Amino acid sequence: MKKAILFCMTALLALTTYSQEKKWTLQECVQYAIDNNINIQQTELDLETAAIDRSDAIGSFLPTLNGTASNSWQTGLTQNVLTGVLETQQTRNSSFGVSSGVRLINGFRNHKVLDRAELSKIAADYNIAKLKDDVALNVAVSYLQVLLAKESTKVIVAQNAVTKEQIERTQELVDGGVLPRGDLLEIRATDASERQRIVAAENAVSIGLVNLAQLLNIKDFANFDIAEGEYEVQGEGILDTQAEVLIETAKETRYDLKIAAQNEAIAKKDLEISKTGFYPTLDAFFNYNTRESNRSSGFNTSIDPDNPFIDSGNPIGVVGNTGDIVTSLSPNITGVDEIGPLPFVEQLYLNDGISYGLSLRVPVFNGFSVKNQVKRSEVNVMRSEFQKELAEQNLRTAVYQAYTDAKAARESYEAAKIAVESQELAYAYAKDRYDVGLTNAFDFSQSKLRYDNAQIEIARAKYDYIFRIKVLELYFGVPATELKF
């Protein structure tokens, strides 16, 4: 038992340690966001709704079949169906029926509704794909921002370590009378400023991680961290592609334009559906009904076998020769017995009936409702055409802007590399001059600060360049989950 408990505790500790030490790569973050993003999950419900609409459209081609059953009691003064006399009585009646119908002609409305359902399903697929691309891009931006914050922190921490060494070196020179005490104070002021920058940079990392975790829908902010791999610039060759080629490719691959085209097709299909209201509809129907009751089925009379007939006294004629009046004879009824209801199944068989036929409905005047619905659909078609045109214009502008931004980011990155090389040489030169007392602490601190800023700027330019290239690759049709970093 003790061994089992020890094993469980060890496994739990190992699992906890793993969760705390897990470093998320960019690809893992993108995939996790796509799998768990709430907006994507909500949009996937639209796909289910589209599937239901398609099922409804298919069902409209099938005949309907409905069954009815009722059972009722009547108490009080009601008419006896056998005698026709009003009597105070209690009766029970039940009825059963089956009805079926099918629409034969309705201006092909069912076909058009099915076509619309298919278009809606495709539009839902495009919306999901677009949202996944947007989520992936947002995750990449947030991830690169955290990387930039981490790189900036590393630069400041490394340079602060140099500053601390310089403080010790300056202290020795001040104590030896080589440098004035003001230089030591200047270096210490630089150290204090760098420590403030370190705190600010670490805070930026923490905030960036929280923002990224929220984007991924991860609630354990404290243990969330990303992998600090080497991210190099990849895919620079796309900048050799002409902007017009990128724009034409984006028109074929980007979901923004596909969604607009689907919305236009749906609007046109809605117009076709609304016009079917002008056409007549023809329905076929079939009904079967039967009933049953607890009322008496009739009366059973008893006749005296010894004297079956008696003179009724009602004259019916005269004998011609004698002039005698002839009277009628009536059955000699000695008793009347009420007969109970027939058996349940027999009543259903005897009382059933069938009706079937065709029903034609021709629209003549419906208060302009159909005409106005057609006009609304025509307005929606024009609106969707404008939206499609606007989407195409926005896409062209976005692609060209992304192309220009990527080229500018490349130039900025190249300039940043040259700047950091120059500032590194200037810093090394200033450090050598400061060590031999040929420059003061202020000038040295300014040179060091420029070098620090150059290192931070090259990191910023690098990640911005990476991001701009990825945006262009998305426009070029590369799926978000296949982007290479």
**In-domain check, residue 310:** yes
**Residue 313 Rama label (left phi>0; alpha psi -120 to 50; beta):** left
From CA 151, how far away is CA 85, in angstroms rounded?
104
402-433: pLDDT as tens digits: 899 889 999 998 999 899 899 889 888 888 88
**In-domain check, residue 205:** no
234-259: pLDDT as tens digits: 878 888 888 888 888 888 888 888 99
Helix and strand numbers, DSSP H then E, in the chain: 10, 8
Please give the structure tokens belonging to residue 197.
């920058």
Residue-number span of the structural domain to which 93 is assigned: 71-104+283-297+342-362
- The three-state secondary structure class of 473 is helix
**In-domain check, residue 328:** yes
41-75: pLDDT as tens digits: 888 898 899 899 999 999 989 999 999 999 888 88
**In-domain check, residue 91:** yes
Count of CB atoms situated within 10 Å of the CB of 217: 14
Average pLDDT, the chain: 82
**Residue 75 Rama label (left phi>0; alpha psi -120 to 50; beta):** beta
Assess whether 78 and 88 both reside in one domain.
yes
Assess whether 318 and 291 both reside in one domain.
no
Count of CB atoms situated within 10 Å of the CB of 4: 8
**Residue 287, strand partner residues:** 99, 355
Report the number of distinct structural domains present in the chain: 2
Assess whether 308 and 289 both reside in one domain.
no
Please give the structure tokens belonging to residue 100.
């079926």
**In-domain check, residue 459:** no
Strand residue runs (E) in 231-367: 281-293, 298-303, 309-318, 325-331, 333-339, 353-361
* DSSP conformation class of 341: P
pLDDT of residue 330: 74
For 151-184, the DSSP string reads HHHHHHHHHHHHHHHHHHHHHHHHHTTSS-HHHH
**In-domain check, residue 352:** yes
Assess whether 290 and 305 both reside in one domain.
no
- β-pairing, 353-361 with 281-293? antiparallel
**In-domain check, residue 445:** no
From CA 293, how far away is CA 76, in angstroms rounded?
16
Please give the structure tokens belonging to residue 41.
């999950």
Give the whole-number percent of the chain exceeding pLDDT 70: 87
**Residue 335, strand partner residues:** 302
**In-domain check, residue 386:** no
326-340: pLDDT as tens digits: 677 677 666 555 666
- Of 167, 156, 221, 212, the C-alpha closest to 189 is 167
